[in-house]
Amino acid sequence: MRKQPRQQRSRQLVDSLIEATGRALVEHGLDHTTTVRIAEIAGVSVGSLYQYFEGKEALVEALMDKLAGDIAQGLRRLPLADSAGLRETVDGAIRFGFAVLHSRDGLYLELVRNWHRLPTNRVADVLQQHFMELSRLYFIKHYRDYPIEDLQVRVFIVANSVLFTMVRHASQNDALLREDDIAAGLTDMVVGYMTH
Amino acid sequence: MRKQPRQQRSRQLVDSLIEATGRALVEHGLDHTTTVRIAEIAGVSVGSLYQYFEGKEALVEALMDKLAGDIAQGLRRLPLADSAGLRETVDGAIRFGFAVLHSRDGLYLELVRNWHRLPTNRVADVLQQHFMELSRLYFIKHYRDYPIEDLQVRVFIVANSVLFTMVRHASQNDALLREDDIAAGLTDMVVGYMTH
DNA sequence: CTCTAATGCGAATATGTATTCGCATTCAAT
DNA sequence: ATTGAATGCGAATACATATTCGCATTAGAG
């Protein structure tokens, strides 16, 4: 951030800009999200925008930081693998994932689609680390001598498979494949892969 | 295409423009690939470019049509599931996939990353249909009464899981996860899911 | 060889977007 | 109430990119 907001009004201005960034992403997509548009949506002058942000990228980064917090919080509410069975846990996580992708008018969808040109690492780390920890705990409990290096590979594969299959499905309005079936299939695949 | 090339020189010009589009994508990425740059790389005037193409999008589409042909040809050379075992077939397909992603200086990588804003359907159909046919044949042979609707879900999940996990891995230079391990893991996951 | 349609050119024009800067307004400490 | 710092503004400027059009050149049919 270019300059720290000191007064109340400027802090609110910064918030409204971040909020507006989200709406611009949903309405116009990352490509056509411009600083001018964001300022317009926020009801703020472009000049003011540049007082606090370097540009579009900085705004998106600030937005993603905020969202990463929401995701982390949502993850903490999910059932853990040691209380429920593995299948229930995976199923819950996948349903949570779909719910997130459909929330906020598709904001998350747009962000994940554009992972390769966004500062995705922070968010990805949240997910990656959470699932890593989750599986680590589970496997330490059930298969005490499980090789840990292999676990990293598995978590990488599972996380990306699930995430992008969900995004691909949510991005196309293909009524031929019902979301419930995709969710069930993903659960089958993941549980099978993680336990054999 | 805006106008049909009738003479020899113009046909060659069109080819060189498509070729240049590929190089521009590799060198500058989709975002910074412009009509002017493509014309420059091709050693052609922008004016000539617009004689035959509506703009960037049309050029990329022409390029992808060409590449779809290459992919289809490559797929036909892969071992089929009825001659070899399922595991060998899946393993071969995944290795083929990685090879493609690494070929042409990462052109395919850039294209798949940007699937959501490209006319991907033609290429996706090639893949989808090929694997659909492949699995259909395999399962008709081995499990005569297999439900076909479910197969569509499975192929969708497997195709996207494999493709995007590969792309994600190839996009980051994370030496922690070796490509061979990812390939082996994907094979395990897919074979397990398709046979249980 | 001749001649016309096809081709190729690139400066010029139009548009979209990023970013700044001088001035007006407001806050909050005194 | 006064005043300096903070804030907000948006026209103006700079730059990137898309697209056209009149003119020069060339291919290749006859």
Can you tell me the mean pLDDT for A95-113? 98
Enter the DSSP assignment of A54: S
Instruction: Give the integer Cα–Cα distance in Å for B157 and B159.
Output: 6
Question: Residue A21: CA atoms inside 13 Å, Cβ hemisphere, count?
Answer: 25
pLDDT at residue A41 is higher than 70: yes
B156 and A117: CB-CB below 8 Å?
no
Per-position DSSP letters for A107-172, written without gaps between them: HHHHHHHTGGGTTTHHHHHHHHHHHHHHHHHHHHHH-TT--HHHHHHHHHHHHHHHHHHHHHHHHS
Residue B145 clears pLDDT 70, i.e. is over it: no
- CA–CA separation, A174 and B14 (whole Å): 35
Question: Is position A125 within any domain?
Answer: yes
- Domain of residue A116, residue span: 78-195
**Rounded Cα distance, A57 and A38, in Å:** 12
3-state secondary structure of A63: helix
Do A28 and A124 lie in one domain? The reply is: no
Q: What is the pLDDT of residues A83-102, one digit of tens each?
A: 678 999 999 999 999 999 99
Does residue B66 form part of some domain? no
When pLDDT is cut at 50, 70 and 90, the band that residue B188 belongs to is: very high
User: B178 and B131 in one domain?
Assistant: yes
Look at residues B38, B49, B46, B54 and name the one whose alpha carbon lies nearest to residue B1. Answer: B54
Query: 3-state secondary structure string, B23-61?
Result: HHHHHHCCCCCCHHHHHHHHCCCHHHHHHHCCCHHHHHH
Under the banding of pLDDT at 50, 70 and 90, the label for residue B110 is very high
* Tokens, residue A114: 């554009």
What percent of chain B shows pLDDT beyond 70? Answer: 96
Considering only CA atoms, which residue is closest to the C1' of nucleotide D8? A48
Same domain membership, residue B179 and residue B86: yes
User: Looking at beta carbons, which residues of chain A come within 8 Å of B182?
Assistant: 153, 156-157
Same domain, A20 and A85: no
Say whether both B86 and B121 belong to one domain.
yes
Do A131 and A165 fall into the same domain? Answer: yes
Q: Which residues of A touch B153 (CB under 8 A)?
A: 177, 181-182, 185
Residue B72 lies in a domain: no
- With pLDDT > 90 as the criterion, what percentage of chain A qualifies? 75
Q: How many CB atoms lie within 10 A of CB A67?
A: 20
B92 shares a domain with B167: yes
* B41: in domain: yes
Q: What number of residues does chain B have?
A: 196
Find the radius of gyration of the CA atoms of chain B. 19
Between CA B164 and CA B143 the distance in angstroms is 29
Distance (Å, rounded) from C-alpha A78 to C-alpha A94?
Answer: 10
CB contact under 8 A, A165 and B164: yes
**B173 against B118, higher pLDDT:** B118
A91 Cβ contact partners less than 8 Å away, ≥ 6 residues apart: A183, A187
**A43 φ/ψ sector (left φ>0, alpha ψ -120 to 50, else beta):** left
Residues whose CB is below 7 A of strand D: A 3-7, 9-10, 12-13, 44-48, 50-51; B 7-9, 32, 34-36, 46-47, 50, 54-56
DSSP states of B127-162? HHHHHHHHHHHHHHHH-TT--HHHHHHHHHHHHHHH
Q: Are residues B151 and B116 in the same domain?
A: yes
B173 lies in a domain?
A: yes
A54 and A124, same domain (yes or no): no
Q: Are A41 and A24 in contact (CB under 8 A)?
A: yes
Note whether A48 and A95 are same-domain residues. Answer: no
Q: How far is the CA of B45 from the C1' of D25 (A)?
A: 14
The pLDDT value given to residue A129 = 86
Residue with smallest Cα–C1' gap to D7: A10
**What tokens does B70 get?**
């290459």
| Whole-number pLDDT of residue B175 | 84
B50 assigned to some structural domain:
yes
Amino acid (one-letter) located at A157? I
How far apart are the C-alpha atoms of B185 and B183, rounded to whole Å? 5
pLDDT digit string, tens, across residues B20-36? 999 999 999 999 999 99
Q: Is residue A69 part of a domain?
A: no
- Return d(Cα B7, Cα A154) in angstroms, integer: 56
Of the given ranges (A83-97, B74-88, B135-149), which has the lowest mean pLDDT? B135-149
Kindly state whether residues A107 and A177 are assigned to the same domain.
yes
Which pLDDT tens digit goes with each residue over A134-145?
Answer: 888 888 888 766
Pairwise CB contact (< 8 Å): A157 & B196: no
Residue B25 one-letter amino acid: L
Strand C proximal to A3 Cβ, under 7 A? no
On the 0-12 / 13-18 / 19+ scale of CB atoms within 10 A, A147 is exposed
Distance A74 CA to C26 C1' (A): 40
pLDDT band at A146 (very low <50, low <70, confident <90, very high): low
Report d(CA B100, CA B109) in Å as an integer. Answer: 9
DSSP code of A80?
P
Question: Residue B38 sits in a domain of what CATH number?
Answer: 1.10.10.60
- Tell me how many domains chain B contains: 2
Q: For residue B180, give the chain A residue with the closest CA.
A: A153
pLDDT of B35 reads: 98
- Distance of alpha carbon B108 from alpha carbon B128, whole angstroms: 17
